[in-house]
Structures are given as C-alpha cells and as structure tokens.
C-alpha cells in the first residue's frame, strides 16, 4: 500500500468508476444477489489479508507478506469505491446499500482494519514508542490506543456497541491526524487515518439509516447527523491530544 492521500483517493475513485461502468450491466441483478456477491468478495479479500498479516508476524519472509497485505488493502479501497459506483445508477440503490450483507461487509472490513492496526502496534511497541514520545505522549497512552483499536474494531461487530465504537474510533483517527499536524508531519503521514475516517463516516451514515426508528430517514438527514457527530469527535480529539501531552509532561 502506497501511503499517500492522493493515491488512496485515486483508488477509491477508480473503484467508483469501475462500479458505475459495471453497474449499468448489472441493472437486472436483484439487489440481494448483488449484495451477496459483494459480501463474498469482501470476505475472501479480508481472509487473505488476515492470513498475510499473520504470516508476516510469524514467518521470516515478512517483507513478502507485508506486500501481500498492502495489496489486499489497496484492493479493499478499490472495492469500497466500487460499492457506491454500483449503486449510483440503480433505482433501488437505497435497498442495495442498506442490505444486511452490504452493511455486514463494511462492518467486517472496518473491524479487521482496526484489529490489524492495533495488533500491528502491539507487536511493535518499541518501534512505536519513540514516535509517541516525540508527539508528547506516554507509552501507557500507546498501550491504551492499542487496546482501544482492537476492542473498538470488535465493537463494530456487536449491534449494541456500534455507536460507542464509531465514536471512539473516530476520536482515535481524528487524534492521529491532529497529532501529525501538531508534529509538522506531511499530510501523507495521515493517509491511514483519513482512509479510516472515510469508512467510519460511511458506516455511520448507513447505521443511522438502518435504525428501526429512522428506517425512512433521508440520506440528507443522516449525513447531517454524521457531520455534526464528526465535528464533535474532532473537537474531543484535539482537546484530548492537548490534555494527554500536558499530563505526560
């Protein structure tokens, strides 16, 4: 995976274009069947990425497996864009996007990405500690982030834990971006966090639209609610980052 914001957005856009082109040919496919195909494709890709991550941790040929894991990450971003390209020209786009299998595929994808990120930090605490120290944070805070990302990712798979997990992980990602800005790092260092914020925002919108009490809620209302929530999470993240630096010193 090339960690550049423009590369990330280009992958998503390429997937969007591909999905739109294929979507015209898939107009006659029932949304439930199309959702099942998407779900199976995403699950197969996630299984490959999980296997590559585990192999990279356990085997000596870590560079090869890291490349495989990165490639599957790129493919996941492409598929993410393709999902909305597929829905773009369908009259039943709402039914397709709110389908349980599409929603489950997105939950699994985001959950696994956070689990891998958290476990990756856990296996490289010594390598990550200097960056956290440079950023003004303690090693204890690094360990807290590891736990938060692993359990937050797991929470995305539990209905009653979805909202607190979305909020907590969004604060975590906004905090990562705020930390890089505070350190004077280039925007490309925040690529991973930006990519996850895009996915978390999408998942939050679909979650809001799928709630029984808001089953008829408009996309506009859901987007507004998520946007306000994102602003609140960003404020908490920036304030929390400053507070953690103050405590650490």
Choice among 48-52, 58-62, 174-178 with the minimum mean pLDDT? 58-62
Look at 247 and 82; give whichever has higher pLDDT: 82
Confidence grade of residue 58 (pLDDT, cut at 50, 70, 90): confident
Are 155 and 245 contained in the same domain?
yes
Whether 118 is in a domain gets the answer: no
Are 11 and 91 contained in the same domain?
yes
Are 93 and 138 contained in the same domain?
no
Whether 121 is in a domain gets the answer: no
Are 166 and 245 contained in the same domain?
yes
Distance CA 201, CA 219 (A): 13
Number of Cβ within a 10 Å radius of residue 134:
10
Average pLDDT over residues 138-144: 90
pLDDT score of 216: 56
Distance CA 178, CA 239 (A): 10
Whether 224 is in a domain gets the answer: yes
Are 79 and 179 contained in the same domain?
no
Distance CA 54, CA 66 (A): 10
Whether 88 is in a domain gets the answer: yes
Whether 176 is in a domain gets the answer: yes
Dump pLDDT digits (tens) for 207-230. 988 876 555 556 778 888 899 999
What is the SS3 assignment for 93?
helix
CA angle 190, 77, 151 (to 5 degrees): 65
Domain count, the chain: 2
pLDDT score of 61: 62
Dump pLDDT digits (tens) for 20-39. 888 777 778 888 888 899 99
Where in the sequence is the domain holding 200, given as residue range(s)?
131-249
Whether 189 is in a domain gets the answer: yes
């Amino acid at each position: 995976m090339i960690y550049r914001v423009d590369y990330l957005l280009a992958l998503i856009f390429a997937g969007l274009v591909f999905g739109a082109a294929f979507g015209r040919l898939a107009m006659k496919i029932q949304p439930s069947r199309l959702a099942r195909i998407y779900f199976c494709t995403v699950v197969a890709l996630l299984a490959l990425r999980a296997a590559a991550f585990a192999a990279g941790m356990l085997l000596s040929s870590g560079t090869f497996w890291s490349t495989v894991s990165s490639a599957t990450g790129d493919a996941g971003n492409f598929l993410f864009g393709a999902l909305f390209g597929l829905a773009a020209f369908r009259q039943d786009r709402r039914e397709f996007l709110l389908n349980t299998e599409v929603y489950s595929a997105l939950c699994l994808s985001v959950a696994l990405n956070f689990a891998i990120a958290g476990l990756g930090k856990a296996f490289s605490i010594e390598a990550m500690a200097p960056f956290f120290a440079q950023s003004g944070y303690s090693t204890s805070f690094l360990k807290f982030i590891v736990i938060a990302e692993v359990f937050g990712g797991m929470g995305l798979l539990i209905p009653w834990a979805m909202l607190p997990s979305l909020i907590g992980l969004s604060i975590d990602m906004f905090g990562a971006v705020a930390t890089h800005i505070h350190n004077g790092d280039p925007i490309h260092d925040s690529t991973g966090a930006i990519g996850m914020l895009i996915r978390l925002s999408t998942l939050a919108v679909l979650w809001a639209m799928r709630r029984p009490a808001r089953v008829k809620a408009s996309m506009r209302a859901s987007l507004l609610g998520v946007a306000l929530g994102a602003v609140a999470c960003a404020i908490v993240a920036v304030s929390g980052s400053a507070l953690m630096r103050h405590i650490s010193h």
